[in-house]
């Protein structure tokens, strides 16, 4: 009996040793993987924040983020792990990340990618009101223009920190300066689609190989409309707040008829329904969404000089006011540190410019205290979407931009007209299935209609009939009901 007891004891000790070994091993690997247990050079705990943002990872990202993290460690004991998702994939991939319950801290979100309204409403993003109303949050709140916070507000609650930049939508005609100069085109007085016609004719007749009006698959002409949910909303100056289907308005019919006529006259490129933006295509004019000094950005991108004129007045809409934000995940284990980082990102000039432009002497050199010249442009070692990284008003100006750039942006924002529906946030939960099927119909028809390549009466009728079949009237009625209630309370 004693021998049996001894053997059992040894087996128990052996089993306990194995269990203890696995516990110690698991603890070791868990502690290695837990970023919150990292210790910095000063002996303080370092919190690593995971930030999903839009765009491609720059070639010199690792070099720049090393410098960023040195600075963040010194300032707030934080390290940053940025994960980049390309523009075309962002919404879908972030949806998977959010629905899977993945542990992350920060995410780019907006009206056109990352679904700020939808993800906020379903609880994916942290409500920030209490933090913003605290003593420490006051610095961040007062740094950002109040109209951005108004735009970010959903039923009185804020779920993202707006990236301060241009506030409104400013559709523009973008002209190649070479042809403007050659034919003395008075581009500054050209605004409507119809204003273009005599100059398109001149280019067609005198410049073989040049596209008079260059249109790509992403082209749209909604300059008269505030889309609250594509294609439903209000006319941009409609104080009665009457909800309409954009494709049933007289304004849309007129624009589509003009585009059709231009296509038939050979003023529009033949592949307009499917074309991707090919910068090698010579053109007189194309359409862009602008801002102050947008011409300089476009000229740099195209590698030749362009000039621009506004199509309509700049309009502040719900979509434009939520054009770029950074949200904190509801599942983040580092909510306070995430908010502390966002405060620093929007108020600390050194951090903001390091993320924006890279390292001084490697990616840029200073021309003056607040102006820089970019280096290594041929290699494009550090190119990043500036608008997605926080407050742009504290970034350096480039050497070909005036020192007053950001003051002029503020003036641009102050002069913008405001949509009568600004502040209204549509709750689409009752018509979500209708909206999904409507989006499928739009995907089928929109690019073709805007291209000018098909008969407008035929295709517009088909589009509107299909929209009705998929429940657009239900969406219109639901939105009108909510908008009427919103109007009565505002």
Beta strands 171-176 and 306-310, pairing class = antiparallel
Q: What is the pLDDT of residue 41?
A: 66
Mean pLDDT of the chain: 90
Q: What would the mean pLDDT of 5-18 be, rounded to a whole number?
A: 41
* C-alpha distances in Å from residue 307, one per residue of 198, 288, 289, 312: 18, 11, 13, 16
For the cut 60, the answer to whether the pLDDT of residue 154 exceeds it is yes
**pLDDT reported for residue 293:** 87
pLDDT tens digit string along 319-347? 999 999 999 999 999 999 999 999 999 99
Predicted local confidence at residue 38, as pLDDT:
76
pLDDT band at residue 350 under the 50/70/90 scheme? very high
Q: Angle at CA 384, nearest 5°, toward 226 and 406?
A: 60
The model's pLDDT over 79-137, given as tens digits with 9 standing for 90+, comes to 999 999 999 899 999 999 999 999 999 999 999 999 999 999 999 999 999 999 999 89
Between 434 and 3, the more confident residue is: 434
Each as own residue / partner, the long-range contacts of residues 37-44 (CB below 8 Å, 24 or more positions apart, any chain) are 38/79, 40/73, 40/77, 41/73, 42/73, 44/77
| Residue 20: per-residue pLDDT | 38
pLDDT of 3 over the 80 cut: no
User: What distance in Å separates the CA atoms of residue 191 and residue 308, rounded to the nearest whole number?
Assistant: 10
Q: Give pLDDT tens digits for 409-435.
A: 999 999 999 999 998 999 999 999 999
Q: What is the pLDDT of residue 23?
A: 37
Question: What integer pLDDT is reported at residue 27 of this predicted model?
Answer: 38
**What is the reported pTM?**
0.81
Q: Which residue has the higher pLDDT, 56 or 300?
A: 56
Per-residue pLDDT reduced to its tens digit, 167-177: 998 999 999 99
∠ Cα 211 213 219 (to 5°):
125
Helix, strand and coil content of the chain, in percent to the nearest 5, comes to 50, 20, 35
Alpha carbon distance 446, 218 (integer Å): 9
* Residues 283-331 pLDDT 10s: 999 999 998 889 988 998 899 999 999 999 999 999 999 999 999 999 9
Confidence of residue 404 (pLDDT cuts 50, 70, 90): very high
Question: What integer pLDDT is reported at residue 164 of this predicted model?
Answer: 96
What is the C-alpha to C-alpha distance for residues 174 and 309, in angstroms, rounded to an integer? 7
CA separation for the pair 61, 369 (Å, rounded): 25
Q: State the pLDDT at residue 376.
A: 74
Q: Is residue 53 classed as helix, strand or coil in its secondary structure?
A: strand
Supply the pLDDT for residue 296: 86
Paired tokens of 173? 């005609």
Question: What SS3 state is found at 364?
Answer: strand
The predicted model gives 31-49 an average pLDDT of 68
**Residue 387: helix, strand or coil by DSSP?**
helix
Q: How far apart are CA 276 and CA 80, in angstroms?
A: 35
Q: How far apart are CA 35 and CA 72, in angstroms?
A: 15
H or E stretch at 79: strand 78-85
> Quick one: tokens of 402?
């005036």
Q: What pLDDT score does 25 carry?
A: 39
Distance CA 382, CA 374 (A): 10
């Amino acid at each position: 009996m004693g021998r049996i007891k001894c053997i059992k004891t040894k087996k128990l000790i052996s089993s306990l040793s194995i269990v203890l070994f696995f516990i110690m091993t698991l603890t070791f690997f868990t502690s290695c993987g837990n970023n919150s247990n990292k210790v910095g050079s000063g002996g303080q705990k370092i919190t690593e924040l995971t930030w999903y943002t839009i765009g491609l990872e720059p070639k010199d990202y690792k070099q720049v983020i090393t410098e960023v993290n040195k600075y963040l460690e010194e300032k707030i004991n934080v390290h940053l792990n940025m994960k980049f998702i390309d523009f075309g994939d962002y919404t879908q991939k972030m949806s998977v990340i959010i629905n899977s319950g993945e542990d992350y801290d920060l995410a780019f979100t907006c009206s056109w990618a990352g679904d700020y309204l939808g993800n906020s409403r379903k609880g994916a993003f942290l409500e920030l009101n209490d933090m913003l109303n605290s003593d420490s949050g006051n610095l961040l709140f007062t740094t950002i223009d109040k109209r951005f916070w108004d735009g970010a507000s959903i039923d009185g609650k804020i779920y993202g920190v707006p990236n301060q930049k241009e506030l409104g939508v400013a559709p523009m005609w973008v002209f190649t300066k070479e042809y403007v100069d050659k034919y003395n085109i008075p581009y500054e007085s050209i605004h409507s689609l119809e204003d273009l016609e005599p100059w398109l004719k001149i280019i067609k007749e005198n410049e073989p190989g040049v596209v008079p009006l260059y249109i790509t698959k992403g082209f749209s002409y909604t300059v008269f409309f505030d889309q609250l949910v594509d294609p439903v909303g209000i006319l941009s100056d409609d104080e009665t707040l009457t909800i309409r289907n954009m494709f049933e308005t007289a304004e849309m019919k007129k624009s589509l008829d003009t585009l059709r006529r231009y296509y038939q006259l050979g003023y529009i490129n033949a592949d307009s329904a499917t074309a991707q933006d090919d910068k090698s295509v010579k053109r007189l004019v194309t359409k862009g969404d602008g801002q102050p000094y947008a011409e300089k950005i476009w000229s740099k991108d195209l590698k030749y000089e362009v000039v621009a004129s506004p199509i309509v007045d700049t309009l502040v809409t719900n979509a434009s006011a939520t054009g770029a934000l950074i949200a904190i995940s509801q599942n983040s284990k580092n909510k306070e540190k995430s908010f502390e980082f966002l405060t620093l990102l929007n108020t600390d000039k050194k951090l903001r410019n390091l993320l924006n432009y890279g390292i001084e002497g490697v990616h840029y050199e200073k021309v003056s205290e607040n102006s820089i010249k970019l280096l290594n442009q041929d290699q494009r070692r550090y190119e990043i979407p500036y608008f997605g990284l926080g407050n742009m008003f504290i970034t350096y100006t480039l050497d070909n931009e005036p020192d007053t750039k950001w003051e002029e942006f503020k003036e641009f924002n102050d002069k913008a007209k405001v949509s009568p529906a600004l502040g209204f946030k549509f709750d689409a939960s009752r018509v979500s299935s209708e909206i999904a099927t409507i989006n499928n119909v739009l995907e089928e028809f929109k690019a073709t209609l805007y291209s000018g390549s098909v008969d407008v009466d035929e295709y517009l009728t088909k589009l509107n009939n299909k929209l009705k079949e998929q429940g657009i009237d239900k969406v219109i009625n639901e939105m009108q009901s909510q908008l009427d209630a919103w109007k009565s309370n505002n």
